[in-house]
Amino acid sequence: MNIQVPNVLVPNANLKAAPSAPLVDPFGRAITYIRVSVTDRCDFRCVYCMSEDMNFLPKRDLLTLEELDRLCGAFVARGTRKIRITGGEPLVRRDIMTLFRSLGRHLESGALEEVTVTTNGSQLARYAKELAACGVRRINVSLDTLDEAKFRKITRWGDLSKVVAGLDAAQAAGLSVKINAVALAGVNEDETAPMVRWAHGRGMDITFIEVMPLGEIDGERVDQYLPLTRVQADLAEQFSLEHSDYQTGGPARYVRVKETGGRIGFITPLTHNFCESCNRVRVTCTGTLYMCLGQEDAADLRTPLRASESDDLLMATIERAIARKPKGHDFVIDRTTKTPAVGRHMSVTGG
C-alpha cells in the first residue's frame, strides 16, 4: 500500500523493524488488537454511556499524540496487527489526524493490517477524506436511531443530519462503513428492522450491541437493557437470516440477510459471553492499559513511557500486564445488582 502523507510525528527510533515475540496471555490468547481511546471527551452525551454532567480528565493527564504514537508502535513491535482509535469521540481531539498520519507508516510497512476508528460521525464530513488518505479503510459509526427527535433524546446533544452528512462523506471517500447500534429497551426496539433495511440499502453492515453496565449514568441500566436474543427473534420474523462465518476480528457474531444481501452483527456480552476468543487490550488516553473491558485491573504505561527514551521499561510493563489478563468479564444486569461491573465509563476505556 502506498500512502502519500507526511508524517508529522517523529517515529521512535528505538523500535526494531522486525517484530519480536508476540504477546500471549495465560490462556494462550495472542494479543493482536489494541483499542486506543485518545480522549475521554465527547460532543454527545449518550444516555447509556455518560451522565449529562461529566467530569473529564484534566488535559495535563493526557498522553500527547507523540506518546500515543510511541505506545502504538511498541504494541506493533510485539505483534499487534490491528489498531482501533476510539474515545470518547476520537475525532474531537485536537490535531488527531497527525496520529492517523503517523500510524499510516505501519500500514505501509505491512506491520499493521488495519487502522480503524469508532466514531459518532459528528466530525466525519470534515475528516473522512483525510482518514482515507491515511490508510483507514473501514470505520464504525455509532447510530442508534433514524428518528431525529429520538436521536436527540439518546445522544442529548447530537444532530442526526450531521451524522448522516458524515456517512455520506465517508462513503464518498471510499470508506467501508459499519453501523453500531446499542439496543435500548422501549427506545429503538421497534426500529431494528427499518435500520437493517436502511443500512443494507446503503451498502453498510449493521451490528447491534447489548448495553453493558459500565460507569454510573442517570437512570437504571436494567430499564435500558434489551437482550439481543429478542432482537434477533424479531428480525427473524421479518427477514430470512442465514448463518455466516464472517469475522472482523471483533466479538460480533454475524448473520446474512437473504433479502438484502447485507450482514447483521450481534455483540452479546450479556447473553453470550465471547471472552474465550478475546484477542485485544485497551489503552486509555492517560496511558492506562486495561486487559479486560469488564474488569478493574490495569497497568500504568505512562510512567515507564516517560521514564526513559528506550522502550525496554515500557515493553516489560506491557508483558507483565498481559501475563495477568483475566479469563473474562462478569457482567450482570438485573434489578438486584445496583453497582456497575466497573466504575469507569465506556468513554474512558474506549468502545
Residues lying near ligand SF4 in the complex (CB under 6 A): 42, 44-46, 49-50, 87-89, 120, 142, 347
Query: Are the beta carbons of 115 and 104 closer than 8 angstroms?
Result: yes
Q: Which is nearer to ligand SF4, 43 or 234 (CB)?
A: 43
φ, ψ of residue 10 to 5 degrees: the values are: -90, 115
Q: Which is nearer to ligand SF4, 4 or 55 (CB)?
A: 55
Nearest to 227 by CA among 210, 248, 239: 210
- Using the minimum distance from each CB to ligand SF4, give the nearer residue, 42 or 85: 42
Choose among ligand SF4, ligand SAM, none what residue 225 binds, the Cβ cut-off being 5 to 8 Å by kind: none
Tell me which stretch binds ligand SAM (CB under 6 A): 10-18, 66-74, 165-173, 209-217: 209-217
> How far is residue 136's CA from residue 120's CA, in Å, rounded to a whole number?
16
- The β-bridge relationship of strands 263-267 and 205-210 is parallel
What part of residues 83-112 is at the interface with ligand SAM (CB under 6 A)? 86-87, 89
Q: Copy the grid coordinates of residue 187.
A: 427506545
Spell out where the chain has E strands. Answer: 33-37, 82-86, 114-119, 138-142, 176-183, 205-210, 241-243, 253-257, 263-267, 280-283, 288-290, 298-300
Phi, psi of 312 (to 5 degrees): -60, -45
Choose the one of ligand SAM, ligand SF4, none that binds residue 263, judging by a C-beta under 5 to 8 angstroms depending on kind: none
Please state, in angstroms and rounded to a whole number, the distance separating the CA atoms of residues 310 and 314: 8
Decide: 155 and 120 in contact? Cβ < 8 Å: yes
CB 231 within 8 Å of CB 189:
yes
Q: Find the part of the chain contacting ligand SAM (CB under 6 A) among 15-23, 185-193, 208-216, 315-323.
A: 208-216
SS3 162: helix
* 182 near ligand SAM, rule: CB under 6 A: yes
Nearest distance from residue 88's CB to ligand SF4, in Å?
Answer: 5
Interface with ligand SAM in residues 49-88 (CB under 6 A)? 49, 86-87
Q: What minimum distance in Å lies between the beta carbon of 351 and ligand SF4? A: 6
Tell me: does residue 209 bind ligand SAM (CB under 6 A): yes
Q: Is 214 in the site for ligand SAM (CB under 6 A)?
A: yes
Cα three-residue angle 94-153-334, rounded to 5 degrees: 100
Query: Are 131 and 117 in contact, with CB atoms under 8 Å apart?
Result: yes
Which of residues 156 and 238 has its CB atom nearest to ligand SAM in the complex?
156
SS3 for 225? strand
Q: Report, in Å, the least distance between residue 271 CB and ligand SF4.
A: 21
What is the size of the binding site for ligand SAM (CB under 6 A)? 19
Binding mask 112-141 for ligand SAM (x = CB under 6 A): ------xxx---------------------
Residues 6+ apart with CB under 8 A from 234: 189, 192, 193
214 binds, among ligand SAM, ligand SF4, none (CB under 5 to 8 A by kind): ligand SAM
Q: What phi, psi does 108 have (nearest 5°)?
A: -60, -40
Length of the chain counted residue by residue:
351
State the binding partner of 211 from ligand SF4, ligand SAM, none, CB within 5 to 8 A by kind: ligand SAM
Binding site for ligand SAM (CB under 6 A): 42, 48-49, 86-87, 89, 118-120, 142, 180, 182, 209, 211-212, 214, 346-347, 351
